[in-house]
Structure 1
Amino acid sequence: MNDQTIIDIPTKPSTVLDKTGATPMIEQFIEIKNANPDSLLFYRMGDFYELFFDDAEIASRALGITLTKRGKHQGEDIPMCGVPMHAADDYLQKLIALGHRVAVCEQVEDPAEAKKRGAKSVVRRDVVRLVTPGTLTEDKLLEPSQSNFLMALARLKGSSDDDLFALAWIDISTGVFRVCESNGDQLSSDIFRVDPRELIVADTVFHDPKLRGLMDMLGRVAVPQPAILFDSSAAAGRIARFYDVSTVDSFGAFSRVELAAISAAIAYVEKTQIGERPPLARPEREHIGSTMFIDPATRANLELLRTLSGKREGSLFKAIDCTVTGPGARLLAERLMAPLTKTEEITQRLDTIDFLLHEPDLCEALRALLKSAPDIARALSRLALNRGGPRDLAALREGLMVSTSVQSRLDGRNLPAELDRVRETLSRLPADFLSHLQSALDEDLPLLKRDGGFCAKGYLTELDEMRALRDESRRVIAEMERALVEETSIRALKIRHNNMLGYYIEVNATHGEALIGSPEMKARFIHRQTMVNAMRFTTPELADLESKIANAAGRALTLELEIFEKLQMEAVSHADALRSAANALAVADVSVALAHLAVSQNYCRPTVDDSMAFAIEGGRHPVVEQALQRQAETPFVANDCDLSPPAGTTNGAIWLLTGPNMGGKSTFLRQNALIAILAQMGSYVPARSAQIGIVDRLFSRVGASDDLARGRSTFMVEMVETAAILNQASERALVILDEIGRGTSTFDGLSIAWATVEFLHEQNRCRSLFATHFHEMTALSQKLARLDNVTMRVKEWNGEVIFLHEIAKGAADRSYGVQVARLAGLPDAVVERARAVLHQLEEGEDSGKADKLVDDLPLFSVAETKRQQTVPQADELRVVLSSVNPDDLSPREALDALYRLKAVADKKKN
């Protein structure tokens, strides 16, 4: 479910620790640990977070840190390890990536208060936060380009066997909150579309045998929770309390199961954040059928967000991502995973790209502005959760400034609907808040608010005075000294400092006696100390200045923290406007990025309508094409694909694709599925032209894999996925199937593939690409009206096969498997033996005596094969001539063939 590989670290089952005989500190640890049995407990001890017992053993293995011990408990050593507080985020990141959950335990009492209860009293501690994969907010723990969704799965028992499901998902780092209903058939598709980092589910549902397969697929992402969390009867009340409203009726007409999912998500957030309230948007409902149905196997096969090995490099997302901001990249990924099925919405997105392509100066100006846009939503979330710092306030300042600049660029233009909404949203930003941030914040900011120094000079007079006293005390004292010299006319008067008296005025004994002797001076100068040759005094002004200097640093920090708190509260009060601005900038970033992609990669605008058409001219695979560009190899060979209804029919066509391995069949299959996804997400596509009637469901069965953990062979997995396709594909579906039936015997496989094509044609009646090596199936074109035979073109030259990667009408009569085996590097003896066996098998099949010929084949002999290799080969000129079919040659190809013949003739002459 994410880019990091989940490593399953063996852990001991959570057990209740017995605190009998424990020291006060260990007793406190045990009490808190028993209250959080499913989390590793980070127990604050001074400048370290320490872990004990099983937690220490697990963490030491996971983090690669030293396992030590601290005292004994019930006669046994207590395992212990620790991490420094200042580096805790780095360790948390590693633990979360490995699937662990962490309870952070802090001191919640002043040590001085604890001492009042007795010298050996332990400072009170408690868990202040539960850190889980789905509830992260820190920059170090989050990927800027990836959303971090927490999802809740709720279920209500239906009147029949069909249960009602709902999914609610939250990105606590940005405030996004969405919900949708689902059903048993598309539940897994809806979950994997969102790609959550953590999914909570009632323990009764988690252990339901009917959902066992889904829970196994989710692995450690799925976390069982008490069923009471999903209580639908209390859901509306919990939601209303969280949003501080009297009723949830104004939120929209949510079903009972949707309310249960929303409530569970909120309850889990409250449970993990412990007293802090993130600025979540009100739940936004998504309707079933508003996005293309893509099942998990298809998402994996097409490598939309990441490759089968779990990497972003090589995925479709990586190939099309030209965004310049984290929020833009996250929105692009969301659109890619949820292509639309409403032509009006798709057209609006395409209109935006079209507009920007006709306004290149505006497009580049917006791109340049957006590069400096910070992540407003995540900064706001940290501030609302009291985890933010001065740089988060600065992120809001910079984000508002970029927003204002973007708005000014869009003002006064006749914009398409999507960009006009962006401009309108940005026009409603709180200008007074921006002014406040600009005047209050300095340019050079510390990471932590406790370090101070983030407030701009001139913002608060008292703060400036405190800073002056703190930073310029020598200058201030010198000025007072000059003033006193002028007042007393004692040029030798000095203001000095020591640790016993603090600041004092020192004069020689003679001048000191004069000061004491004058009634006016005696009232002003207070005698402090008499030395042999000098006398020391103070004044009320000096005493007051000394107090201010002593407290200046603390007072300055107190004033800055008060300013920070006011700005923080002001930011939270503008949460809705700030979140809307963040979304608007993300939309602008995605639009500009897709326009940039269209120009740089020569993509075209697709026509997306409600017809059953699927006509691609010059289609290209976006990932493979870019890989060839980077390697400076042969340009990608574009191909057409037309699955539109044939004349006299209303349903889409089926193309039966034959041809050799390595000929490009799988690439061709995938590229057409990817073009459909790109078109319906609202992007231009890699083709000369494209017309796509809405695809409501996309299925792809490409590649081979097994599922040994569930006892499934490669063939079994293939059959399960094929069954899912045949049971769910609609007339508007696009089905991509590759080599169905290859995992079993020839006749079994052929019969399954044959029946599958007939079912797709007669029952599903959908648009489909079906690749196969069963050449016998090409006969189906004579009985199925909407089925066409197409093949990957190849050329043979001197016994070698040349892959042209071109699609042509017709059927292949060979698979060229032996030639591909030679290209793969099989030993020559094996290749030659394979040629001989293939030749005799083909002869036997033609004569009806294949079985007898197989029995008559001599055993494999390297010596015999080598002898055969020394036998003079057929005349090379005849071989070349036999490979040339004049009817298939273009003028250029004919000329090339002539040159090849001449080269062979010249070689023989020499």
Structure 2
Amino acid sequence: MPVSKLIGFALSKLEPSRLRMTLTAPLPQSEFDEPNQDEAAVAAVGPQDEAEAAPVGHITPVMQQFVEIKAANPDSLLFFRMGDFYEMFFGDAEVASRALGITLTKRGKHLGEDIPMCGVPVHAADDYLQRLIALGHRVAVCEQLEDPAEARKRGSKAVVRRDVIRLVTPGTITEDNLLDARRSNYLASVARTKAGAEGAGDRFAVAFADMSTGAFRVLEVEGGGLAAAIARIEPRELLIPDSIIGDDDLKPLWRQSGAASVPTPRAFFDGATAGDRLAAYFGVASLDAFGRFTRLELQAASAVIAYLDKTQIGQRPPLDPPAREGETGIMSIDAATRANLELARTLSGERRGSLLSVIDRTVTGAGARLLAERLAAPLTDPEAIRHRLDAVDLFLREPALRADISRRLSAAPDMARALTRLVMGRGGPRDMRAIGEGLEAAAGVLRRLAEIELPGEEIAAALASLASAPHGLAGDLAAALDDDLPLLKRDGGFVRTGYRADLDETRSLRDESRRVIASLQATYVDLSGIKSLKIKHNNVLGYFVDIGPNHAAAMMAAPLNETFIHRQTLANAVRFSTVELGQLEGRIASAGERSLAIEMQVFGELSAAIEREAAAIKRAAEALAVIDVASALATLADERGYCRPKVDDSFAFHIEAGRHPVVEDVLRTEGQSFVANDSDIGPSAETGAPDGGRIWLITGPNMAGKSTFLRQNALIAVLAQMGSFVPAKSAHIGTVDRLFSRVGAADDLARGRSTFMVEMIETAAILNQAGPRALVILDEIGRGTATFDGLSIAWATIEHLHAVNRSRALFATHYHELTALSERLERIVNATVKVREWKGDVVFLHEIVPGAADRSYGIQVARLAGLPPAVVDRAKSVLAELEKSGGSAPASLIDDLPLFTAARRAPRREEAPEDMPKVLEMLDGLSPDDLSPREALEMLYSLKAERLREKRKAD
């Protein structure tokens, strides 16, 4: 294709609305000449009139280069390096200026319109990249690949060679300031195989890799498990085959994932070449050494590798070999349940207020990421859970050890991410120091924990990894690296003085040239005996010896003429050079370049040493994260009074004095205490069904704590199976394989789903998937429709859970009629939230007790919420009429409109209190600050009882 057509096509792709280029008018050449001051320009350009007189289709070489590179990267903003700036033009400039809040300028005109342009300084590019990536943009970084002086050798109009060296995308960043230290940064891919009509029986594979740490895993799930898998992984970027990205059934999943969705060519997922691509990447003949993978898993993993090859352009991220995750071994938690329980973030999307934010006491970024990973994927193997709990128990019993380990860990940088940057050639001196300090911390932790006789299997495994770390490398790095390090290696000055003699010499020449020249001058004065001798410098002779004319004869005679070479005679001075002075001048002139070259050589040697030990360093980093998590969970248990749960393979679920960890944390900050409650939904001897749980049917008013009780039991199960102590007096939990939560109200208007439809979809998922080992919490099923419809749905749901699912379940409802089910279904247990009434108001005691609520107290809650008194009074009268008529609205009620009468009615005055000497005496002896919540409640009951006695006496 002719260049003119290629450029026209490329420009038309940049911004279709503005850049339909016909090439009938040339671009003004001078507008795109690279400025010499930033070393981007290497070609002499013609004057403006010559550019305008150019033939049709002409375009400046620099702009031609920009357009060609942009055409090859149409989906990315192009950071086009021009000297000290990354420049953007046309549509890229408009997008970037809006996203970054930077000024949009112009550079030349095209077809009579200004050409938009904006730029960012190279030294501050990371800050701008961070903002663009956070907004979901992709950026192609185009660098100068040669020195401008080299380009000049090719001719006056030669252009510096440039090309894209890297595509920066949300899932492939490695820079420390672009990453969240406490969150993994996964790039994931999804592959599908269809196995039936209308998607029935479809299977999916998900591969996910964190390029910043090297973690790489793959799993295969049934169609219904895809959403749960993606919700657990929380990828930043999701590779989706072209063939399924437009699938109407899957589109909501891509949107709800929160990841940047990338349409990916089918060739990336080619099953015929997937195994070979993976084997070639990891340098093995066969993948058998890494485990057995299905064809679908290989396709997903191959797509990740292919995408990394594309975006990293020649760089090979140091990924771990892929590790296969099975569908068993991890508690399955679907996306709706994760959202309802607010495990890692609240419903508003914030981390603050989530379970993770409340339990996180880690002191390292790697530890925080591991804690989040364990919370997202609780285990189902009691033995593996026990190992984790043993590690927490160890640190809980040894507070002094825990404090010492925490102090040492807090000094450990993020070795895994620093290692990745160094191996990929993106690291700097500070990354090397991070490796050194991390290894020093690892050695300290190893020495401290080696004193423990029985550390438990998890800590013992961590100790073995720490013992194999290259601790000698830490000393080498400390000896080589200066205390004050630059961010970039190209800045130099990071090698410690005394590490390399030749470097010290060149630095001395560079930094202390005056002292060196003065020393040489003193030597020449002594040698010649001429006290007025001076060493001077100019641009013609360089360094030279300057003396007065009266000393010239002596300098030109033996033996001084063997050292001093005559160069120039002036009226009032004679100048000489020496071999030493000439050599010194050369060394001084190149000292800066040679100094940096030596430092780069040292950097390369240290990088190579680090890369040779990469596997051991990575294992040590993982071990420190494991120790950090165990220590942090022990700190949490100590601070909050958590207990060690008993987790086995039974169907038990017995919690004594359980508490909601997040609500308790909020109440604690407000100086209040949490009311603990028991729960027991495991099988009982009375039911004679050891293979299934019981269903607690919980009634009571809104605001009384039903939803809190439901959630706290689910969170206790999650904490226990992730390997944490739990907020309870005691806990015995038979492993939960699937956790389901239908709590709260939400709609999905984008898909035309009402709140009730969403509720029914989530309920259907539970009834279709829950088994005897599942834990189900359901809140107010059927409330989004007509009363009798809702009651019927709730009734049938309970019967299905009881007879088919046989799951352990907590079911909160306002339908009191459902409590009758306990009389004929042996595994239904009625429970209610304890309340008290006081002068028409309801007092919430937040205690779960056996029995059933006799009413919902809805009107009392409405009154507490601040509904106008007229509305409350009208609601009471309507309720009374409905209760008389058995739930149907009588004609008299419809015809009567007493609401306005109630609004006009004067408010009732409270009767004047009678003399209450006994009550007043009790109040006088009361010290509220000394009362516990329970004592205060009991005192309130006592005051009420005394008041009733006083009234009876008066009557």
Instruction: State if a TM-score over 0.5 links the two structures.
Output: yes
- Give how far 1:114 is off: 3.0
Q: 2:773 aligns with which of 727, 732, 735?
A: 732
Q: 1:491 aligns with which of 507, 526, 531?
A: 531
1:893–1:430: structure 2 CA closer, same or farther, 3 Å change rule?
A: closer
SS at the partner of 2:164?
strand
How far apart are the structure 2 equivalents of 1:260 and 1:522?
81
2:120 matched residue in structure 1: 83
- Give how far 1:891 is off: 10
2:567 matched residue in structure 1: 528
1:565 matched residue in structure 2: 604
- Give how far 1:856 is off: 4.5
1:198 matched residue in structure 2: 237
Contact in 2 for aligned 1:279/1:572 (Cα 8 Å): no
- Give how far 1:366 is off: 0.5
How far apart are the structure 2 equivalents of 1:713 and 1:892?
44
- Give how far 1:895 is off: 5.9
1:170 matched residue in structure 2: 209
Which segment drifts farther, 345-354 or 45-54?
A: 45-54
1:51 matched residue in structure 2: 88
Q: In the alignment, is residue 369 of structure 1 matched against residue 408 of structure 2?
A: yes
2:785 matched residue in structure 1: 744
Query: Which amino acid counterpart does residue 123 of structure 1 have in structure 2?
Result: V
2:193 matched residue in structure 1: 156
How far apart are the structure 2 equivalents of 1:905 and 1:52?
87
Q: 1:338 aligns with which of 377, 392, 397?
A: 377
Alignment of 1:36-75 (within 5 A): 36-75=73-112
- Give how far 1:904 is off: 7.8
SS at the partner of 2:785?
coil
SS at the partner of 2:907?
helix
Q: In the alignment, is residue 639 of structure 1 matched against residue 677 of structure 2?
A: yes
> Could you state the TM-score of these two structures normalised by the residue count of structure 1?
0.94
2:419 matched residue in structure 1: 380
- Give how far 1:712 is off: 0.5
Contact in 1 for aligned 2:819/2:830 (Cα 8 Å): yes
Contact in 2 for aligned 1:470/1:552 (Cα 8 Å): yes
Q: Deviations over 1:810-865 (max 9, x none)?
A: 111111111111211222222222222223322333xx77423422532421x534
Structure 1: unaligned runs, 5 residues or longer: 1-10, 882-889
Q: 1:811 aligns with which of 845, 852, 863?
A: 852
How far apart are the structure 2 equivalents of 1:702 and 1:677?
16
How far apart are the structure 2 equivalents of 1:658 and 1:158?
44
2:177 matched residue in structure 1: 140
- Give how far 1:75 is off: 4.8
How far apart are the structure 1 equivalents of 2:596 and 2:913?
95
Q: 2:656 aligns with which of 609, 617, 634?
A: 617
2:556 matched residue in structure 1: 516
- Give how far 1:774 is off: 0.7
SS at the partner of 2:250?
helix
Alignment of 1:542-553 (within 5 A): 542-553=581-592
2:711 matched residue in structure 1: 670
Query: Which amino acid counterpart does residue 470 of structure 1 have in structure 2?
Result: R
How far apart are the structure 1 equivalents of 2:500 and 2:304?
42
- Give how far 1:551 is off: 1.2
- Give how far 1:52 is off: 1.8
How far apart are the structure 2 equivalents of 1:851 and 1:873?
35
Q: In the alignment, is residue 470 of structure 1 matched against residue 507 of structure 2?
A: no
How far apart are the structure 2 equivalents of 1:19 and 1:261?
43
- Give how far 1:214 is off: 2.1
1:7 matched residue in structure 2: none
How far apart are the structure 1 equivalents of 2:751 and 2:488?
49
SS at the partner of 2:394?
helix
- Give how far 1:188 is off: 0.9
2:724 matched residue in structure 1: 683
Alignment of 1:559-638 (within 5 A): 559-632=598-671, 634-638=672-676
1:460–1:509: structure 2 CA closer, same or farther, 3 Å change rule?
A: same
2:941 matched residue in structure 1: 897
Contact in 1 for aligned 2:440/2:471 (Cα 8 Å): no
How far apart are the structure 1 equivalents of 2:245 and 2:736?
33
Query: Which amino acid counterpart does residue 897 of structure 1 have in structure 2?
Result: Y
Contact in 2 for aligned 1:477/1:495 (Cα 8 Å): yes
1:870 matched residue in structure 2: 908
- Give how far 1:285 is off: 1.4
How far apart are the structure 2 equivalents of 1:515 and 1:776?
121
Contact in 1 for aligned 2:234/2:257 (Cα 8 Å): no
SS at the partner of 2:753?
coil
Q: In the alignment, is residue 825 of structure 1 matched against residue 866 of structure 2?
A: yes
Contact in 1 for aligned 2:81/2:87 (Cα 8 Å): yes
Q: Deviations over 1:407-438 (max 9, x none)?
A: 11111422110011111001111234223212
1:767–1:875: structure 2 CA closer, same or farther, 3 Å change rule?
A: farther
Query: Which amino acid counterpart does residue 839 of structure 1 have in structure 2?
Result: A
Query: Which amino acid counterpart does residue 326 of structure 1 have in structure 2?
Result: G
Contact in 1 for aligned 2:329/2:380 (Cα 8 Å): yes
Which segment drifts farther, 369-378 or 29-38?
A: 29-38
Contact in 2 for aligned 1:323/1:329 (Cα 8 Å): yes
- Give how far 1:710 is off: 0.5
- Give how far 1:671 is off: 0.5
- Give how far 1:250 is off: 1.6
Q: In the alignment, is residue 766 of structure 1 matched against residue 807 of structure 2?
A: yes
How far apart are the structure 2 equivalents of 1:310 and 1:116?
57
How far apart are the structure 2 equivalents of 1:875 and 1:676?
51
Which segment drifts farther, 169-178 or 32-41?
A: 32-41
Identity %, equivalent residues: 58
Contact in 1 for aligned 2:870/2:899 (Cα 8 Å): no
1:227 matched residue in structure 2: 266
1:238–1:876: structure 2 CA closer, same or farther, 3 Å change rule?
A: farther
1:549–1:117: structure 2 CA closer, same or farther, 3 Å change rule?
A: closer
> Could you state the TM-score of these two structures normalised by the residue count of structure 2?
0.89
2:795 matched residue in structure 1: 754
SS at the partner of 1:234?
helix
1:884 matched residue in structure 2: none
Q: In the alignment, is residue 291 of structure 1 matched against residue 330 of structure 2?
A: yes
Root mean square deviation of aligned Cα: 2.4
Q: Deviations over 1:507-557 (max 9, x none)?
A: 222222111122x22121011222333322121011111111111111101
Q: 1:701 aligns with which of 742, 751, 758?
A: 742
SS at the partner of 2:257?
helix
- Give how far 1:383 is off: 1.1
1:259–1:894: structure 2 CA closer, same or farther, 3 Å change rule?
A: closer
Contact in 1 for aligned 2:874/2:902 (Cα 8 Å): no
Q: In the alignment, is residue 105 of structure 1 matched against residue 105 of structure 2?
A: no
Query: Which amino acid counterpart does residue 84 of structure 1 have in structure 2?
Result: P
- Give how far 1:18 is off: 5.1
How far apart are the structure 1 equivalents of 2:113 and 2:888?
79
How far apart are the structure 1 equivalents of 2:915 and 2:752?
55
How far apart are the structure 2 equivalents of 1:86 and 1:214?
39
How far apart are the structure 2 equivalents of 1:875 and 1:516?
125
Query: Which amino acid counterpart does residue 779 of structure 2 have in structure 1?
Result: D
SS at the partner of 2:324?
strand
2:489 matched residue in structure 1: 449
2:43 matched residue in structure 1: none
How far apart are the structure 1 equivalents of 2:483 and 2:434?
12
- Give how far 1:905 is off: 8.2
Contact in 2 for aligned 1:738/1:770 (Cα 8 Å): yes
How far apart are the structure 1 equivalents of 2:118 and 2:610?
39
Q: Deviations over 1:215-272 (max 9, x none)?
A: 3423653221000000011011111221222222222211211111111111111111
1:812–1:874: structure 2 CA closer, same or farther, 3 Å change rule?
A: farther
Alignment of 1:767-846 (within 5 A): 767-845=808-886
Q: 2:469 aligns with which of 411, 429, 433?
A: 429
Query: Which amino acid counterpart does residue 31 of structure 1 have in structure 2?
Result: E
Structure 2: unaligned runs, 5 residues or longer: 1-13, 24-56, 920-933
- Give how far 1:738 is off: 0.5
Contact in 2 for aligned 1:789/1:811 (Cα 8 Å): yes
1:720 matched residue in structure 2: 761
- Give how far 1:15 is off: 11
1:387–1:869: structure 2 CA closer, same or farther, 3 Å change rule?
A: same
- Give how far 1:113 is off: 3.4
1:49–1:190: structure 2 CA closer, same or farther, 3 Å change rule?
A: same
Contact in 2 for aligned 1:844/1:853 (Cα 8 Å): no
- Give how far 1:30 is off: 1.8
How far apart are the structure 2 equivalents of 1:873 and 1:257?
78
